[in-house]
Amino acid sequence: MLQTEFSNGSVSPKQKERKIIVINFLQTLPVREERIEHPPLTFTVREHSVGWNFDAAESLIRTYDGYADGFAFSGIQKHLGVPGAYVHHPAYLRLMRMATKTPIYVADDLREFFTEWTLKKVLLEQPQIFFKKKVLFQVATASSSLGQIAESGAEILAADPLMISSTPVRLHGMSQIRLFAKVLTPFAGPITFNLVRPARYSRKQNHCSTLGNWIKEADIFVGFGNIIAAMESFEPFAGKILVVDHVDISTRKRLEEAGVAQIIDFVPESAVRSMPESKHFPVLAAVIDQTRIFENSQLGFSDYLLRWLEQTKVSPKPLKTSRGIKRRCAFIFHALTQKDLWTVPSTKPFRRAPKFIRDFAEDALSNLPCLYVGNLTGVVSQATGQEVECDFYGFPATPRGILAMKEEYLYKRMIQCAEQARRRGAGIIGLGAYTKVAGDAGVTIARKASIPVTNGNSYSAATTLWAARQMVERLALISPERVGNRFKAKAMIIGATGSIGRVSSLLVSLVFQELVLVATRPDKLIELREEIKRLSPETKVTVTTQSSSEIMDADLIVTATSNQRGSVLDIELVKPGAVICDCSRPLDITQEQAAKRPDVLVIESGEVILPGHPKLSFDIGLPHPSVYACTAETVLLALEGRFESFSLSKQLSLEKTKEIYKLGVKHGAKLSAVQGPAGIITDEQIDRCRSLALERLKTWQIGAAS
């Protein structure tokens, strides 16, 4: 538990003016004073910078003991080392014993609390941030973050010999750090801690040059704000992630000007106004404990701290976008037809083989593991500047092979692929095509995989309906009038009570004046109608179990069925100029059916152009630089730092569909190619469809096919 160490002195519990004496062991500066407001208390904070002069510190304690309400020690820690090999500071206990009336706040435990809390939040947002990265610790034996970062898969380096004795030796790994800590143990006492004077060597040219070179060779540097602030040059931090206990405003500005990629500091978003950031933890401990005393709380410091955090809503600082540091994700896809299997050099000979040999090869290939195929680079958020790289893994199986597999076998293969992606640094993996259809649509894989999983269905639904709306607008055959934000037009959802159908119905109700819901179960239709009326009370909603009764004047038809038994609609009854958005898998509208009505626009999905200058290292079957919406969902989550299993199961969430759409807008994703039964829909096809529809509408009669 957290503890604040102080002696049993006399404090005026009802006094609203409190005096805190800060003893700064890191600097030698003139005495300065500032005020902190933390209603109902006001704190006068007087800082004495004594450097490493413990005699001066003792003199201050004797002078202010009983006069001040608290001493806050800045720049001194209880001990150095790692568990099992600690060197305790010899002057620390002597100073603690000197104050008999006024409590002393060192706040090592409070610092460790916020370190652990912040790093947990960082690892939740960027799970792979330390994985296989070279992480250099300025003084590993004094760092409260060493354990968490080491457990995250980092390659640990430490500059302890350089910082402690100016010996230019860099430690590699936890075993060398433990050995170094054990070597220090026999010398515990004034000698060791006389060497460990913060910033003792910070301005020595040889020392700075050596440390600077080590920082350049590392990916991440873990240090102490006050020691870093004393460095003459910040040039080595260019492009690096800096993990630091705190960093003052001027130092932060210098680091950013030097091109630091990201700063992760443990000072929380404070509810205490005017808190001096460089001494935040010991002063924060004093403020919290003095408030506890004022309130005459019966809680101990640890329990009071937890209540204070809840009441003030103090939390770790939000993780800012990294500059020049790529986030990584991964995506699994597979061949959609047998022909697609023969596109790589090693399988091309099968193209002209007899059918039974091709079928045998298809079955054999489906037993191979996922293979790394290539990557997507150059994706950069327009909102934050964050860059993401996505690795692609090919599963050498067709839909027929995937659907024929036992679910447990398929799950095992996908989990193995996720582990492979994790080893390459991916923080999340997306499922494509039938890998997200088979089984429970990612639920089991997400539960067992080492990184989060998303099936991409939320953004697929959002972009498909986005594309449908765009096509309706491009054809321009409906009334230009609007009823509020809604088209003065009619939409129909076939399969409305299914997962995709329900979300489609809710979304379409927001943009169309009239809506027809079609499904086989009347009870479910009535439930959905009531849900839509609550969401969109202005929309006229009709329910039916037969599409033919309402289809002839529908301007948009969305099919979202699990139909396996023939056509769900008679395309000859569809209104000229209507848009049919086929969200079903397998598809409801075949290429042959669509070809019968060139005056009707049939679309299957909306593809996406991601922000920045995206470049794929291989062909995914779309015009460059388009990607599938399910791929885009994975990349957008990585851009946002949302490394979480977002879209899972076959049940779509309206909230998540809207949320991922908004993330796409935020980061600059745009609708790209719109897929139809015969491939990408061109401008010529749209113009021809409009022309044919206008001609046929002249004789079209509602209630009878023309």
pLDDT digits (tens, 9 = 90+) for 139-156: 888 888 999 999 988 999
Residue 494 included in any domain: yes
Cα dihedral sign, 413-415-421-426 = positive
Tokens 């050995």 locate to 179
Indicate the residue among 312, 339, 364 that finishes a domain. 312
pLDDT tens digits, residue range 84-134?
666 666 677 788 888 889 999 987 888 888 899 999 988 877 777 888 889
What is the 8-class DSSP label of residue 427? Answer: S
pTM: 0.72
pLDDT tens digits, residue range 641-658?
888 899 999 888 999 999
Indicate the residue among 312, 337, 358 that finishes a domain. 312
Instruction: Report whether 296 contacts 58 (CB < 8 A).
Output: no
Residue 123 included in any domain: yes
Residue 253 included in any domain: yes
Distance CA 414, CA 431 (A): 9
Residue 495 included in any domain: yes
Instruction: Report whether 569 contacts 588 (CB < 8 A).
Output: yes
Residue 418 included in any domain: no
Containing structural domain, residue 696: 486-612+619-632+653-706
Q: Are strands 155-158 and 171-172 parallel, antiparallel or unpaired?
A: antiparallel
The number of domains in the chain is 2
Residue 461 included in any domain: no
Question: pLDDT-derived band of residue 39, with 50, 70 and 90 as boundaries?
Answer: confident
- The CA-based angle 597-686-654, given to 5 degrees, is 90
Q: Average pLDDT of the chain?
A: 86
Instruction: Report whether 600 contacts 700 (CB < 8 A).
Output: no
pLDDT tens digits, residue range 75-84?
777 766 676 6
Residue with more model confidence, 374 or 94: 374
Residue 537, domain CATH: 3.40.50.720
Residue 236 included in any domain: yes
- The whole-number average pLDDT for the span 422-429 is 90
Buried b (16+ CB within 10 A) or exposed e, 238-250: ebbbbbbbbbbee
Residue 259, domain CATH: 3.40.50
Q: To the nearest 10°, the Cα dihedral for 567, 573, 578, 583?
A: -10
Q: Which of 8-12, 184-188, 364-368, 587-591 has the lowest mean pLDDT?
A: 8-12
Indicate the residue among 312, 337, 364 that finishes a domain. 312
* 329, β-bridge pairs: 390
Residue 352 included in any domain: no
| Main-chain phi, psi angles of 522, to 5 degrees | -60, -35
